[in-house]
Structure 1
Amino acid sequence: MRRTIAAGLAVLAALFSGPVAQANDSTARVGAGGLVLQKNGDIRMLSEHLSISVKRIEVEYRFRNESARTIETVVAFPMPEFHWDPEQDANWRNIGPVESFLVHVDGKPAVVRAERKALLQGRDITALLRRAGLSEDHIFRTFGDAFDTGGMTLPEAVVARLHALGASDQRMPQWRVAETAYWTQAFPAGKEVVVTHSYRPFAGRIFGTYDGARPPSEDSVPLSSIGEQDRACLGEGGMKAVLNKARQRVKDGARSGYINLKDVEYILGTGRNWKGSIGEFTLDVVKETPQDTVSLCFPGKPERIGERTLRFKMRDYVPQERLVLNFYSFE
């Protein structure tokens, strides 16, 4: 039996992993998480309601300052680092989620700022890229106008300067982008503050294929856009559910098809920066269609809310470090 994240894990799938699938193109997921501040002994997270789909992540927090004074602090939301992937096509390209990040405090929009850095092996090279002739868009969004597998389309002189910095290899950009959204938040003494935020996640994409010569099998089922084996706990039951849906398409006359995986990662561990455990924690997993299959590692048994939503609830929850969700669809 493979290692699971927590004892007593109940998921839509069971507890074993299958083999890695073969696929042509993929976009790798990268995980973002919750609100961060320095470890605070006075502000308690009364509740968190987290909703995850492949297109949107939405969170509502209720906080209470249990001290006798107003606490004003910077609240940050660190985004995952991302980089140029030459195998991404125009439709699959991940875009920095800071641009889709929205925050409301007690129903009113918060003034959110963003800090952006270009990193090369962990070193901040933002100023060097600017001096080399790159615009802000080149640095943080288009990676030197690298629109396909040919790499950057910048002038030769600029590419040469980037190569000298180690930031280019065969016109392929080598740096990563790190972004953090942040704002200043006041927590009045003894009062509740409701914070909501939402953004578009970096969802990974990968697919497996089948046809008349290769009917649906475990080899057809992708497990992870980044090569992991069991982070979403796709076990024997989950594998069977995925294969049954693919095999049903064959019975219905399909001569070939795709098993599509979109995986989403969310960092839960930031919830441990607040005082104590999370009083009430609700996780909604929202499928794109009722026919999709979802697998994840999380304690407890979900409740079905309508045709597309699965809801987990926990009390006095000490969050696990991260959550990976596999969303399977079929065509």
Structure 2
Amino acid sequence: MALLLAGPALANDGFGGFTATGLTFGQTDKVAMETEDLMISPDRISVDYTFRNLTDQDVTGEVIFPLPPIPMGDLINGMWNLPEDTLRENLMDFKAVVDGAPVALQIDRLAVILPEAWWELTPSQQYDTPGQDVTALLAEHGLAVSLDGERAWEEIQALSPASRDALLAAGVIGDYDDTEGFDLYPNWSVVLRYHWTQTFKAGAVTKVHHDYENRPTGGVFGWEHPPEQDYLKDIARTYCIDEGTSTAIAKALARPDASEGAWGMAYQIDYVLRTANSWAGPIQRFTLTLDKGDPANVISLCAEGVKKTGPTTFTVEKTDFTPDQDLKILLVQPAGE
């Protein structure tokens, strides 16, 4: 299973976005991930794998790639890094290719009630337990499972008294002021799941490619060098911002008028690597390629062996790699004039 998770904004003037991860096939000791080539750019993420079936029998199962729960309340009350057309079925333009042939994807759309303080759960906990499935309950009362916040609001206000009371009791909707139904809001989140049935032939290598739009958390971002404020020190620790990178960020974000400070945009690009540990053994060869998109942008992450390979690209290569931590990447972008 792979999952994109909601992450916190880096600034008050920010928008919610997604954490990304790779494919898993359930915990297995029968199929090994021999190679993984991961490419992360500001706009898109792509992954190429080679898997080997270690047994003399075919192994078949479901490969799943779900988006994280997207809270409907957030879509109404805040900003979220979603496509302009939130009604398109393939929301993240997810594509999969196996041994050179495009995969016919199935896409499920679910409504869930998230557990309390779900944002405090680890990424693996979030995608293992996305919440209580209330899809059928919404359908029973005529509510659509869509990412149209205005539509959800209007449908809730039009509920019959009986449906309103039933959904309030179930926690599917909430009432801001405990009034008579005039301040109702959606309390559910939407989960989209891409999946297909995959067979790994006995003793054979299977090549899998998938790619999708990168829509991380981000927002207006200010910086000072050296960082003195506690929240900036936390960012520096989280993304391993050293002296040279701190200087580069301050320079990139500097405004023509020094009194304006150093500010621009920042994107928090997270990628969960540890799902690779569900396959048999370590990854024999792992390559990460980062593209910061523009030479003026600045990128920082906690990783050993980062090599600059071009004006905007960097690589990290590992052999016999067992991920013990996930990627957290800070991409800083100067503000437009």
Give yes or no for TM over 0.5.
yes
Equivalent position to 1:245, from 246, 249, 252? 252
Greater displacement, 63-72 / 20-29? 20-29
Deviations 1:132-168 (A, max 9, x none): 2212xxx23114536xxxxx23362329625454323
Change over 3 Å in CA distance of 1:94–1:27 after alignment to 2: farther
**One-letter code aligned to 1:142:** D
Contact 1:296 1:324 in 2 (8 A): yes
- Which among 64, 69, 79 is matched to residue 52 of structure 2? 64
Asked whether the 8 Å contact 1:46–1:64 carries over to 2, the reply is yes
Out of 133, 143, 155, the residue aligned to residue 124 of structure 1 is 133
Structure-2 residue corresponding to 1:88? 79
- Aligned-pair CA distance for 1:99: 4.2
Separation (CA, whole Å) in 2 of partners of 1:22 and 1:284:
24
Cα distance in 1 for partners of 2:62, 2:25 equals 7
Matches within 5 A, 1:1-331: 23-84=11-72, 85=74, 86-88=77-79, 99-121=92-114, 122-135=131-144, 139-143=145-149, 145=151, 152-154=153-155, 156-158=157-159, 161=164, 162-163=167-168, 165-166=170-171, 167-169=173-175, 170-209=183-222, 218=227, 230-247=237-254, 249-250=255-256, 258-298=263-303, 300-331=304-335
Native 8 Å contact 2:225 2:246 kept in 1? no
8 Å CA contact 1:47, 1:280 repeated in 2: yes
CA distance in structure 1 between the aligned counterparts of 2:42 and 2:327, rounded to whole angstroms:
13
State the partner residue of 2:178.
none
> What runs of 5+ residues in structure 2 fail to find an aligned partner?
1-7, 115-130, 176-182
C-alpha distance in 1 between matches for 2:194 and 2:279: 18
Aligned CA distance change for structure 1 residues 114 and 43 (closer, same or farther; 3 Å): same
CA shift, 1:92, in A, is: 7.9
Number of matched pairs: 295
Q: Once the 2 structures are TM-superposed, how far is the Cα of residue 301 of structure 1 from its aligned partner?
A: 2.3
SS at 2:154's partner residue? coil
Q: Which has the higher contact order (CA 8 A, sep 6+)?
A: 1
CA drift at 1:228: 6.9
Superposed CA offset, 1:242-287 (max 9, x none)? 112223x437x89566321111111111111111000110001111
Within 1, Cα distance between the matches of 2:229 and 2:265?
10
Query: How has the CA–CA distance of structure 1 residues 220 and 100 changed in structure 2, closer, same or farther, with 3 Å as cutoff?
Result: farther
State the secondary structure of the residue aligned to 1:40: coil
Distance 2:190 2:323 in 1: 27
Q: Is the 8 A contact 2:10 2:268 kept in 1?
A: no
CA contact (8 A) 1:98 1:180 kept: no
Task: Measure the CA separation in 2 of the matches of 1:231 and 1:26.
Answer: 18
Structure 2 contact 34–49 (Cα < 8 Å) conserved? yes
Cα 1:30–1:90 change in 2 (3 A) is closer
CA drift at 1:112: 1.4
Secondary structure at 1:289 match in 2: coil
Measure the CA separation in 2 of the matches of 1:99 and 1:168.
29
Q: 1:22 to 1:274 in 2, by over 3 A?
A: closer
The answer as to whether partners of 2:81 and 2:217 remain within 8 angstroms in 1 is: no
Structure 2 counterpart of 1:207, which letter? V
**C-alpha distance in 2 between matches for 1:216 and 1:93:** 36
Once residues 127 and 79 of structure 1 are traced to their aligned partners in structure 2, the CA distance between those partners, rounded to angstroms, is 19
Counterpart CA distance in 2 for 1:322 and 1:97 is: 26
Instruction: Kindly state the Cα deviation for residue 236 of structure 1 after the two structures are TM-superposed.
Output: 4.0
Contact 2:31/2:51 (8 A) holds in 1: yes
Please state whether the residue corresponding to 1:311 is helix, strand or coil.
strand
- Report which stretch shifted further, 125-134 or 238-247: 238-247
Aligned to 1:12: none
* Letter aligned with residue 142 of structure 2: G
8 Å Cα contact 1:159/1:171 also seen in 2: no
- With structure 1 as the length reference, what TM-score do the two structures score? 0.77
| SS of structure 2 residue aligned to 1:193 | strand
With 315-324 and 275-284 compared, the bigger mean Cα shift is at: 315-324
